[in-house]
Amino acid sequence: MKKTLTVALMIAAFSISCTSSQNKSGETDKTAQVQAEAPAQAEKPVQTALTEEDATGGSITLTKNVFLQKVWDYENTPQEWVYKGDKPALIDFYADWCGPCKIASPILEEISNDYAGQIYVYKIDTEKERELAAVFGVRGIPAFLYIPVKGQPVMMSGIARTKEDTKKMFAENIDKYLLTL
């Protein structure tokens, strides 16, 4: 019998992450679907649907419905991974209360601009989209799913010790898992 999804879990040697069992520290749930987490990016809201602007960069927030349409319809093909995208993707599983997630967010915005037109950078709020997090077995955040156009996705969690090393980690993983043939 085929597994519902083959996703390799790889944890960076110097990873920093939050576990899903951590308390939200009393923060209130925001009603806005998504806002950029970095102060420098605050004036540019995160995209929530795929448009022609995707080629210009910027993270795209995924809801379950958009995920089913644009990434993988696991409800209709639960036994087989079938990526629906036209270019590779990187999905950031995050929560607003997670410190390492807040560090990764502006770095991923830079990455989305650096690789504009080559990959999609998606974000999934694990507090709002618990089912999507459960589908991939996300237990610690931030977690990152690297999705090549063909082949199986690769899951990793945590960030490096510095912002520079974290950006380097993303670039190396994108080059290794998404842009090589």
Active-site residues, by number, are: 98, 101
CA distance 142 to 32: 21
Distances (CA, A) of 69 to 59, 64, 65, 94, 159: 17, 9, 6, 21, 29
For residues 24 and 2, give the distance between their C-alpha atoms in angstroms, rounded to a whole number: 37
